[in-house]
């Protein structure tokens, strides 16, 4: 939840001044627009021009979560004029259709959380690193944060307590390690739940941390890949910048250089996959072109993703430019001498 207590004395208005998508006529203009948001003014420029990259949440030095406020106002005022039929279809698409089948897990052992992707990304969850893990997956465990992209935070609020309950039903305990294959899940179970006072009944572990620890245990089997990669940082990672260090540690172990390109870290550029939903289709090609040219300029041979949707959105264009697409666990598997059967 947005915390406005620091905003009146905020000197930099970093949340808006650092926004890559909205131009402000100096800090006073940004301050004025911030005040409009706080006043819940439907005519604030930010609501319409925002593309929902989540960046302002990371830029705010006070951890105030301005994007929570922006997104709630976007739901209230519909500044993107979203097609209601498309939004309803999306809401229905990720709602569990069948009753939860309870298969109890061993709470003393780690659990791989496959989120909604056990089938679509099943091949990327295979290999020695994953094969012996117990797992959960499917819509009953879907993180639901995607609804921020269609300005429906109320759907997230409604469904997340049910998802947390589903975890309880399968027997997780406070110290059960739940490895989040999906970056967005980790963002949900750490940042989102914490700021919304939702108790998480297990210990979330980010995929990068899990991959690093696995590699460390099998360090003698690693053959360095000697590869230059560009990192396509997904929007949900703005909630959990602390996970970045794990990526760097993995890269170092497997002999991968993360190129110091312009659109990485705080300057990460949205993949654009959700632009058309928000009536911002015209931004899609220029954004993707800028992003991919940046990777080429820094001689990246491959692109590493933390989000299946970003990968799906950019993979074709990257392949055309001779840049391969991977999740970091895929690269880890290659470094361990495994082959990828896709």
Give burial (CB, 10 Å; 0-12/13-18/19+) of 306.
buried
**Smallest distance, Å, CB 103 to ligand SF4?**
38
**Residue 50: CB minimum distance to ligand SF4, A:** 3
Shortest distance in whole angstroms from residue 71 CB to ligand SF4: 8
3-class secondary structure, 93: helix
What kind and span of H or E run contains 327?
strand 324-327
Our finding on whether 55 is near ligand SF4 (CB under 6 A) is yes
Minimum CB distance to ligand SF4, residue 14 (Å):
4
Tell the smallest beta-carbon distance from residue 58 to ligand SF4 (Å): 8
Give the residue among 328, 330, 335 at the shortest CA–CA distance from 221. Answer: 335
Reference 275, options 319, 309, 232, 324; nearest CA is 309
Closer to ligand SF4 by Cβ: residue 8 or 93: 8
Nearer to ligand SF4, 204 or 234 (CB): 234
Can you tell me which of 48, 56, 274, 300 binds ligand SF4, judged by CB under 6 A?
A: 56
With binding defined as CB under 6 A, does residue 253 bind ligand SF4? no
User: In 266-317, where do the E strands start and end?
Assistant: 302-305
Member of 53, 116, 302, 307 binding ligand SF4 (CB under 6 A): 53
Does position 60 interact with ligand SF4 (CB under 6 A)? The reply is yes
Least spacing, CB of residue 261 vs ligand SF4, in Å: 19
State which residue, 56 or 115, has the beta carbon closest to ligand SF4.
56
- 154 vs 213, beta carbon nearer ligand SF4: 154
Question: Does 22 help bind ligand SF4 (rule: CB under 6 A)?
Answer: yes
| Residue at token pair 């598997």 | 333
Min dist. Cβ of residue 21 to ligand SF4 (A): 4
Place of tokens 């091949």: 123
Q: Give the 3-state secondary structure of residue 75.
A: helix
15 binds ligand SF4 (CB under 6 A): yes
By CB under 6 A, tell whether 148 contacts ligand SF4.
Answer: no
Q: How many CA atoms lie within 13 A of 46 on its CB side?
A: 31
Q: Is 151 in the site for ligand SF4 (CB under 6 A)?
A: no
What is the distance between the alpha carbons of residues 110 and 178, in angstroms, rounded to a whole number? 6
Tally Cβ neighbours within 10 Å of residue 317: 15
Site size for ligand SF4, by CB under 6 A? 24
What are the tokens at 3? 């915390």
Residue 51 touching ligand SF4 (CB under 6 A):
yes
Taking the CB of residue 41, how many other CB atoms lie within 10 A of it? 15
Q: Does 50 bind ligand SF4 (CB under 6 A)?
A: yes
Q: How far apart are CA 182 and CA 206, in angstroms?
A: 8
Least Å from the CB of residue 29 to ligand SF4: 13
Give the residue, chosen from 62, 154, 213, 317, that forms a contact with ligand SF4 under the rule CB under 6 A: 62
Listed in sequence order, the residues at least 6 apart from 147 whose beta carbon sits closer than 8 Å to its beta carbon are: 90, 91, 153, 155, 156
- Choice from 24, 44, 45, 46 touching ligand SF4 (CB under 6 A): 46
Per CB under 6 A, the list member of 24, 54, 142, 214 interacting with ligand SF4 is 54
Would you list the DSSP string of 186-240? HHIIIIIHHHTT---SSEEEEHHHHHHHHHHHTGGG-----EEEEEE--GGGGG-
Give the residues lining the site for ligand SF4 (CB under 6 A).
Answer: 6-7, 10, 13-15, 19, 21-22, 34, 46, 50-56, 60, 62, 64, 66-67, 70
């Amino acid at each position: 939840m947005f915390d406005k207590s620091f905003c009146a004395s905020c000197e930099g208005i970093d949340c808006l001044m650092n926004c890559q998508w909205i131009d402000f006529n100096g800090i006073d203009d940004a301050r004025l627009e911030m005040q409009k948001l706080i006043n819940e003014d439907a005519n604030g420029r930010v609501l319409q021009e925002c593309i929902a990259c989540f960046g302002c949440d990371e830029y705010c030095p006070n951890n105030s979560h301005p994007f929570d406020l922006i997104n709630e106002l976007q739901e209230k005022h519909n500044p993107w004029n979203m097609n209601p039929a498309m939004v309803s279809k999306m809401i229905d698409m990720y709602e569990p259709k069948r009753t939860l089948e309870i298969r109890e897990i061993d709470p003393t052992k780690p659990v791989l959380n496959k989120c909604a992707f056990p089938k679509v990304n099943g091949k990327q969850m295979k290999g020695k690193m994953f094969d012996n893990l117990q797992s959960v997956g499917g819509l009953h465990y879907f993180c639901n944060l995607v609804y921020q992209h269609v300005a429906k935070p109320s759907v997230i609020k409604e469904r997340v307590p049910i998802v947390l309950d589903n975890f309880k039903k399968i027997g997780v305990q406070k110290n059960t390690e739940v490895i989040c294959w999906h970056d967005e899940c980790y963002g949900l179970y750490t940042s989102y739940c914490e700021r919304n006072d939702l108790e998480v009944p297990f210990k979330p572990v980010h995929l990068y941390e899990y991959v690093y620890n696995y590699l460390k245990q099998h360090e003698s089997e690693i053959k360095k890949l000697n590869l230059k990669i560009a990192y396509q940082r997904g929007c949900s990672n703005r909630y959990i910048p602390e996970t970045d260090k794990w990526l760097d540690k993995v890269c170092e172990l497997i002999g991968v250089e993360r190129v110091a390109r312009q659109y990485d870290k705080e300057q990460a550029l949205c993949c654009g996959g959700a632009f058309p939903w928000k009536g911002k289709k015209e931004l899609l090609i220029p954004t993707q072109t800028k992003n991919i040219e940046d990777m080429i300029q820094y001689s990246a041979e491959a692109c590493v993703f933390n989000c299946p949707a970003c990968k799906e959105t950019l993979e074709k264009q990257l392949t055309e430019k001779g840049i391969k697409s991977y999740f970091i666990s895929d690269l880890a598997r290659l470094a361990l001498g495994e082959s990828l059967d896709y």
